[in-house]
Each structure stands twice: as C-alpha cells, then as structure tokens.
C-alpha cells in the first residue's frame, strides 16, 4: 500500500484548529485486575465514552503528550522522536499514579493514529504538520481515592497550522501566580499544570495590559530563577564577542519544576554538532540581559524567537535580537530534519509504518487483533 496524498478537498489555508475533521482516534484499555493492556482499536469518532465519576475527570488523574508528523517531498511521513515522547509520557503517568504505557504499545498507537488519518498530514510545501496527542486517564467509575479498575490510553491527531510562524514572542514575567511548586508536578505533562495558566495568559494578552503573547514563569520559592514559558522551554544564546570566546554559548534554562523539553534537547544536540558550547543550568532572571538571542522552544512552537521579556515589578525590559543568525541556523536545521530535507544524522525520525497500521494490512486482512492483550508486570 502507498501512503495517501494530502486530502484534495481540505482547505489547508482556512483551517480552524477547534474543528477536528479527521477519520478517528486510537484507544486501548488497561485492566488493573489483570495488569494488561488491550490491543489498540481504531474508533471512527472524535468522542470518548467516559463515566462521569472517572478519576481522570474528578481528580485530575491524567497525562498527555504532544508530538509531530511531517510529510516529505517524496510523500513519506516522518514522526519526530516518538520514543523520546514515550519516555516522557511514562514519567508523567508515574507522577499521577497511572500504569506506564509500554514503548511498543505507545509507538503502535501513534503509528496507527497517523496511518488511519494519513491524508490529513499537510502537504510538504505547506507550513504545517500533524499534531499527535497521546492521552491517558483513570476511566473507571469511583468516588474513593484509590487505584482505578481501568485506565484508558488514546491517541488523537489533528492537522496543525503554525499560529505565529516566525513572529517574535513578547513575554511577561508571571509574578502573581506560581505555575508549579518546587517539589510538585511541574516536571510532568499533566493538565493541572496548564488549566490554571489560562486565566493569567488571557489577562496578559489584553491590549490594556500590554498585549503580551506569552507568560514566563519563575521558581515559586525565590521568584528569581527561570522555569519556562507556559508552553515552551527557554533557551538563550550568547555571541562569541560577548564572552570573548570562539563559539556561541547556548544555555537551556533548567528547572526541576519544568518538563524535560524534547525540542530543547534536539536544539542542544544540533548546537553541539555546530561546535557551540552548551549549558543546561539554572538561569537567574536578571541574567536574561546577557543573552543576545532568546527562543521559546517546544513541540507546537518548534523554535520561536523572543524579542522582549518584561518584569513589571522592577520595570526591567530584557530585549533580544528577534530574527538573528543563531535562531535562523537552528530553526532551518531542525525544521529540515523534521521535513526530510536534511539528512537525519541523529536518527530522530521514524518512517510511518503504514503497511502495518493502515486500513488493511498484508493480504487485505485487518492489522489489529482485538482479543490480544499486552501483559504488564505487577
């Protein structure tokens, strides 16, 4: 079987991100009694059947991921670093007391979701991709705070059009709200880290409040170290002439209260391949003035330049070159690898396993056995 071409009637330039036009999603179920996962099943609907007393709805027992698929010029579909996202997803699940999804099952569900919706991966020459959203939550009915009888793992996909492109970010330091506690859940990808931010980011975006496009969060204990942007890591670059060095210095703002950014890790690896000096460490807020370029780095944003960070209580404006040479080189390299335009020397991309997970497998037979279960150790 060949991978389908992009949907001929889909209006890529007029896409509404709140509408999901795809064919369906993938689900599988974990039974606590048997410590096993069911085989993946494709559901031709965007909706889940969930009991109203499910811990995922009532107690926030859920975790999610986000990763990307791109179409190449030769109509291959590449999924970017799915094994790394699987590892982070297992960490997030463990933090909120859920069974980890085995990497093999995670990859199978991701490939199936993309394969069954392959026509919704944007054309190669379009500035977009397919966003992949794995999700796990406690799904059995219960009031008590104990281990659920059942967990659901599912994978949704949606065409993703960059909302901002290369438009520079203008960020406000969040001073009235702590996104994560020092020893809390900030280093895992759970909904409780994001829902509370919406009120504050909405207020910051209002023209009368400055029209800020993002919030930058700092540590809750001292309010002096950078954690991350609301949905992206912070990376700063110092030019050689600033530090009297031969090469640029790229610094990733590290915090135990922020998630491990796979995109930031990718940028670090690329920078090291250029021969740049790389640091992963705590970054004081006041140190922002020493960077010539700053980026917001994440799955959806990929790499987005930042032109200004404002600290309202001190009146400090940290300004940066918004479309500088370091940003351009890093973005072109990362984007080129993701789209199959540059050799993937780091072996990050997986070719879509379409023969295995498309609508029909070899000899025209369905690929999934709905009776098969995947055993998990107790």
Q: Give the residue numbers of the binding site.
A: 88, 228
Task: State how far the Cα of 303 lies from the Cα of 317, in Å rounded to an integer.
Answer: 22
Binding residue numbers for pyridoxal 5'-phosphate = 88, 228
Query: Of 348, 368, 344, whose CA–CA distance to 356 is shortest?
Result: 368
Residue 127 CB contacts under 8 Å (≥ 6 apart), including other chains: 161, 162, 165
């Amino acid at each position: 079987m060949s991978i389908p071409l992009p949907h001929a009637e889909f209006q890529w330039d007029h896409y509404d991100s709140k509408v999901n036009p795809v064919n369906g999603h993938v689900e599988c179920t974990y039974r606590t009694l048997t410590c096993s996962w069911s085989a993946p099943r494709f559901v031709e609907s965007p909706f889940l059947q969930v009991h109203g007393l499910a811990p995922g709805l009532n107690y926030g027992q859920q975790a999610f991921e986000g990763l990307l698929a791109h179409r190449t010029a030769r109509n291959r579909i590449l999924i970017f670093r799915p094994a790394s996202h699987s590892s982070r997803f297992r960490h997030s699940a463990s933090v909120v007391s859920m069974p980890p999804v085995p990497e093999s099952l995670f990859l199978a569900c991701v490939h199936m979701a993309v394969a069954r919706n392959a026509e919704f991966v944007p054309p190669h020459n379009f500035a977009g991709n397919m966003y992949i959203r794995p999700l796990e939550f406690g799904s059995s009915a219960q009031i008590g705070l104990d281990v659920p009888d059942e967990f659901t793992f599912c994978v949704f996909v949606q065409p993703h059009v960059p909302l901002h492109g290369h438009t520079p970010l203008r960020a406000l330091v969040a001073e009235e709200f702590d996104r994560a506690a020092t020893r809390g859940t900030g280093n895992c990808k759970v909904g409780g880290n994001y829902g509370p931010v919406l009120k504050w980011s909405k207020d910051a975006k209002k023209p009368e409040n400055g029209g800020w496009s993002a919030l930058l969060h700092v540590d809750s204990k001292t309010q002096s170290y950078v954690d991350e942007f609301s949905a992206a890591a912070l990376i700063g670059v110092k030019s050689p002439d600033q530090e009297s060095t031969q090469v640029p210095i790229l610094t990733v703002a590290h915090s135990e209260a922020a998630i491990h950014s796979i995109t930031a890790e990718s940028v670090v690896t690329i920078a090291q391949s250029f021969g740049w000096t790389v640091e992963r460490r705590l970054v004081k807020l006041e140190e922002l003035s020493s960077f010539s370029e700053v980026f917001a780095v994440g799955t959806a944003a990929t790499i987005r330049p930042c032109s200004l960070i404002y600290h309202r209580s001190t009146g400090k404006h940290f300004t940066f070159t918004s479309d500088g040479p370091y940003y351009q080189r890093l973005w072109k390299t990362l984007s080129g690898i993701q789209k199959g335009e540059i050799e993937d020397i780091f072996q990050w991309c997986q070719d879509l396993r379409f023969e295995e997970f498309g609508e029909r497998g070899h000899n025209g037979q369905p690929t999934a056995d709905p009776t098969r279960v995947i055993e998990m150790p107790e």
